Structure 1
Amino acid sequence: MLKTFANAWKIKDLREKMLFTLMMLAVFRLGNILPLPFVNVQVVKSIYEGTAGSLLGIVNTITGGGLESLSVFALGVGPYITSSIVVQLLTFAIPALEELSKQGEAGRKKIQNITKYVALALAVLQAIGIVLGIFNDAIGIFNGSGTLPKLIVILSLVAGSQFLIWIGELITEKGIGNGVSMIIFIGIISRIPNVIIGWINGISNGVAGYEWYKFIFTLVLSLISIIFVLYLTNGERRIPVQYAKRVVGRKMYGGQSTHIPLKVNMSGVMPVIFSSAIMALPQTLALIIGGGFANFVNKYLVPTTAFGTIFYVIVLFALVILFAYFYNTIQFNPYEYSKNLQQNGGFIPGIRPGKPTTDYLGSIVSRITLIGAIGLGLVAALPRLLSYFLNINMTLGGTSIIIAVGVIIETQKQLEAMMQLRHYKGFLNK
């Protein structure tokens, strides 16, 4: 990986793309520490305490700590991600959107515009929920009063989210990697220095849960998780395909052998994100509603007790498997693959074309999806168990590791493709 980045840096065009990406990410980090007007940061931090396992904790990790300080970029690209998921799911349910998805580049641009409008609406709703619900007591206390300060904060949050989406598009168009993924990646790894400093201070001051051997254990476990996620992301099952020979005019076509690469983890990190969000929803609602509902949630539905932790992990594990199968069903259609193979004269050796091929591909996808889902579930659930039963501070959990590893692999592959394309162009010019 380091060799790929070093070789890319030597090429002027790629170096300019990398510098542009770094500049845009620097703007993101600058906005992430820029406080909103009329906000008492100390009150925000006091309200945020104890929400590391809630939906607020997940959003704060993705935004690089922006929600914890209620900065200009506190919403991050979360509304856009949610909008993309919603529109993607609706594409399979609404015939008009499905028709747009089949219209090539023009249809893709229309769907992208729809996604942006939905993201704007979600950003407005989330900003209202944050200002008037969770952090209502932190706005307009010392720096202003009345409705106007809260309205300004809502508009600032929405504008910051839309500005980040624009930065992500610029990175995708003129930089390296997927812009939105890069912003999430930087938001996650930007918390690593604070985590290390926290461990050092905890070890120096003798704070419970910050012993030196637990720090070493955390490092080793993180390294093992990264290696495991790396193999899980790159793992695939290759189904051999043979194309029959056919004569068209005076030429012979077909006869070659190839394969269908079936990823073990087709859905990526989405099952973990959706499952964690669903499990965190009761605690987030408890922060807003309070009262008896909050007491019930804190006792039974959050990982703060032995029963709550075990129940949380079991349900989280089951939801990860459920969403993994759901997303794989959307992304891979065995019937379509079988139909395309048959139309192009291809077949799987030992399997008859048509329904037998469809059933065979379906059974293979079902088995490897189970393996990938179990792997994702372990990475997502294990830090929760260790945090409670071993009293270890697992600030960067499995979800963060899966996202970070996936973005690095995606960026590396894009750089390799760009360098390979450049070599082809040089060969053709000669």
Structure 2
Amino acid sequence: MKFIDTIKNIWKIEELKNRILVTLGLLLVYRFGAQVVLPGVDAAQLANLSTQAQDGLLGLLNAFTGGAFANASVFALGIMPYISASIVVQLMGIAIPYLQKLQKEGESGRKKINQITRWLTIAITLVQGPGYIYNLFAQLPAEAFVIPNQTIFVVSSVIILTTGCIFAMWLGEKITDKGIGNGISLLIMVGIIATLPQSFVQNFFSRVSGDGGGMIMVLIELVIWFVIILASVLLVMAVRQVPVQYARRTASGGYEKNVFGSRQYIPLKLNASGVMPIIFAQAIMFVPGLIAGSLSESETAQGITAAFSDIFGLWYNIVFALLIIVFTYFYTAITVPTNKMADDLKRSGGFIPGIRPGSETAEYLDKIMSQITLPGSIFLALIAVFPAIAVKLLNVQAGWALFFGGTSLLIMVGVAIDTMQQVNSYLLNRHYDGLMKSGKNRKAVA
């Protein structure tokens, strides 16, 4: 079989094999740490915390940490503070000249930006850590805490949570440098996948017992799930090809066409922003409920709190979808430098047929991006809110429904494709068939 032959070929490439083993080893370390309970907490008394993290926004956070949140683990905050810090630094790069300067300095500037992100991660963790600890006090019985001095427990636990987050960040960076794939994304994906079997089993037994619909409904759900996965793959990989030709600049200021051969293409992605709009939107969705809950206890405030804490509710998902569309345009605008693309084309003697090089090319590329971003953002929003559709229309359990779309599924699909592409490049460089290419196996070049 071609798949078995491909696995054998992967194992023949020493560097690739070592990178895969390093990646798997570091991921195992991360998963082991997710099971280590904070010192001073009785692991047998975590039932209330597990119940709190079954659904809602905390259920989503628990899924991202691979159950570490519900385990009161040393990795309870996961890698999310680092993700938050990265988002903040990216947004600050739009308005702060110093960060803009660093972005133009190449590798040295990138290292400084990474250092800023790390310090900001520590600051965010020091804010989120006490919040998590006081949530433990609210959810767990008094006998769950074996350290009598509350101050010592809070200080030591915040230090441990901060250290756990920094260690997880270090693991992600080591995977990126020494392993295969993007380390931070792989940590999130492994955390998400860790909760998938349990969620499926719980949904399976709810279907086959009583009047849940039996095996027929389980099969229907699996078919729908695979269709959503296919749709997510198409969303991640779909591009609009813009034709480009290269020519030599003449003395009169014109271009001598077709000097450098056949036409090439600029691939503009249908979804250039990835899952970032969903992450931005979810961060915003925390705010209304927190504000309403802290201002008053009126019926209106309670209604707002309830509406924005139910991730499967109607109004939550309407606002969520609109925010995703807005943030898709915003993030695409700051990450797709059409002006730089046009300048690079002009300097290399490239041009889009029928479009003058320079500002007109930048305007044309910006117009194309605006046209393809609209359907891309709508498609992204539909996939993001599909878990709510699965809960309301198919009566899927909340834990299993999170895998029917949203950030969880898109992260799994995006990271899997990115990792496969990296493995594919190793195989093709050694003249083997790639994971994403058919054909007869070829011998390696000695």
Q: TM-score, normalised by structure 2?
A: 0.85
Q: Please name the residue that 1:271 is paired with.
A: 277
Q: Please name the residue that 1:12 is paired with.
A: 14
Separation in 1, partners of 2:347, 2:402: 52
RMSD of equivalent CA atoms: 3.0
Separation in 1, partners of 2:368, 2:411: 26
CA offsets 1:285-344 (integer angstroms, 9 cap, x no match): 78889955873235433448xxx8222221111111111101110111322222332333
CA offsets 1:13-41 (integer angstroms, 9 cap, x no match): 21121111111111111111111122244
Indicate whether 1:297 and 2:304 are aligned.
yes
Indicate whether 1:258 and 2:261 are aligned.
no
Q: Which amino acid letter does the alignment assign opposite residue 303 of structure 2?
A: F
Aligned CA distance change for structure 1 residues 197 and 86 (closer, same or farther; 3 Å): same
Q: Please name the residue that 2:162 is paired with.
A: 158
Indicate whether 1:58 and 2:83 are aligned.
no
**Aligned-pair distance for 1:60?**
1.0
Aligned CA distance change for structure 1 residues 139 and 152 (closer, same or farther; 3 Å): farther
Indicate whether 1:239 and 2:242 are aligned.
yes
Among 325, 329, 347, which residue is 1:325 paired with?
329
Q: Which amino acid letter does the alignment assign opposite residue 391 of structure 1?
A: N
Q: Which amino acid letter does the alignment assign opposite residue 265 of structure 1?
A: N
**Residue 247 of structure 1 contacts residue 253 of structure 1 at CA under 8 Å; is this kept in 2?**
no
Separation in 2, partners of 1:211, 1:326: 44
* Matched ranges for 1:94-173 at <5 A: 94-133=96-135, 135-138=137-140, 141-142=143-144, 143-145=146-148, 146-173=150-177
CA offsets 1:127-168 (integer angstroms, 9 cap, x no match): 111112465453864412321112222111111111111111
* Matched ranges for 1:170-185 at <5 A: 170-185=174-189
**Residue 24 of structure 1 contacts residue 171 of structure 1 at CA under 8 Å; is this kept in 2?**
yes
CA offsets 1:112-140 (integer angstroms, 9 cap, x no match): 11111111111111111111246545386
Q: What secondary structure is seen at the aligned counterpart in 1 of 2:226?
A: helix
Separation in 2, partners of 1:286, 1:153: 29
Aligned CA distance change for structure 1 residues 257 and 139 (closer, same or farther; 3 Å): farther
**Aligned-pair distance for 1:397?**
3.9
Separation in 1, partners of 2:196, 2:87: 28
**Residue 62 of structure 1 contacts residue 187 of structure 1 at CA under 8 Å; is this kept in 2?**
yes
State percent identity of aligned pairs.
38
Aligned CA distance change for structure 1 residues 43 and 370 (closer, same or farther; 3 Å): farther
**Residue 54 of structure 1 contacts residue 283 of structure 1 at CA under 8 Å; is this kept in 2?**
no
Which consecutive residues of structure 1, in runs of 5 or more, have no partner in the other structure?
Answer: none
Indicate whether 1:412 and 2:420 are aligned.
yes
Separation in 2, partners of 1:197, 1:288: 38
Aligned CA distance change for structure 1 residues 290 and 173 (closer, same or farther; 3 Å): farther
**Residue 214 of structure 1 contacts residue 392 of structure 1 at CA under 8 Å; is this kept in 2?**
no
Q: Please name the residue that 1:223 is paired with.
A: 226
Among 380, 388, 392, which residue is 1:376 paired with?
380
**Residue 264 of structure 1 contacts residue 369 of structure 1 at CA under 8 Å; is this kept in 2?**
yes
Deviates more, 1:379-388 or 1:258-267: 379-388
Q: What secondary structure is seen at the aligned counterpart in 2 of 1:68?
A: coil
Aligned CA distance change for structure 1 residues 241 and 35 (closer, same or farther; 3 Å): same
Aligned CA distance change for structure 1 residues 332 and 184 (closer, same or farther; 3 Å): same
Q: Please name the residue that 1:334 is paired with.
A: 338
CA offsets 1:52-90 (integer angstroms, 9 cap, x no match): 554322221111111011111111111111111111221
Q: Which amino acid letter does the alignment assign opposite residue 425 of structure 2?
A: A
Q: Which amino acid letter does the alignment assign opposite residue 406 of structure 1?
A: G
Among 16, 23, 26, which residue is 2:25 paired with?
23
Indicate whether 1:396 and 2:400 are aligned.
no
Deviates more, 1:399-408 or 1:411-420: 411-420
Deviates more, 1:96-105 or 1:260-269: 96-105
**Aligned-pair distance for 1:91?**
1.7
**Residue 61 of structure 2 contacts residue 69 of structure 2 at CA under 8 Å; is this kept in 1?**
yes
Separation in 1, partners of 2:295, 2:271: 37
Separation in 1, partners of 2:345, 2:264: 12
Aligned CA distance change for structure 1 residues 42 and 174 (closer, same or farther; 3 Å): same
Separation in 1, partners of 2:403, 2:295: 28
Separation in 2, partners of 1:210, 1:158: 45
* Matched ranges for 1:28-47 at <5 A: 28-41=30-43, 44-47=46-49
**Residue 47 of structure 1 contacts residue 135 of structure 1 at CA under 8 Å; is this kept in 2?**
no
**Residue 54 of structure 1 contacts residue 280 of structure 1 at CA under 8 Å; is this kept in 2?**
no
CA offsets 1:163-221 (integer angstroms, 9 cap, x no match): 11111111111111111111111111111211222133324543x65743332222111
Q: What secondary structure is seen at the aligned counterpart in 1 of 2:90?
A: helix
Q: Which amino acid letter does the alignment assign opposite residue 243 of structure 2?
A: P
**Aligned-pair distance for 1:283?**
4.7
**Residue 8 of structure 1 contacts residue 14 of structure 1 at CA under 8 Å; is this kept in 2?**
yes
Aligned CA distance change for structure 1 residues 326 and 2 (closer, same or farther; 3 Å): farther
Q: What secondary structure is seen at the aligned counterpart in 2 of 1:190?
A: helix
Which consecutive residues of structure 2, in runs of 5 or more, have no partner in the other structure?
Answer: 252-257, 433-442
Deviates more, 1:352-361 or 1:314-323: 352-361
Separation in 2, partners of 1:387, 1:170: 38
**Residue 52 of structure 2 contacts residue 58 of structure 2 at CA under 8 Å; is this kept in 1?**
no
Separation in 2, partners of 1:5, 1:135: 49
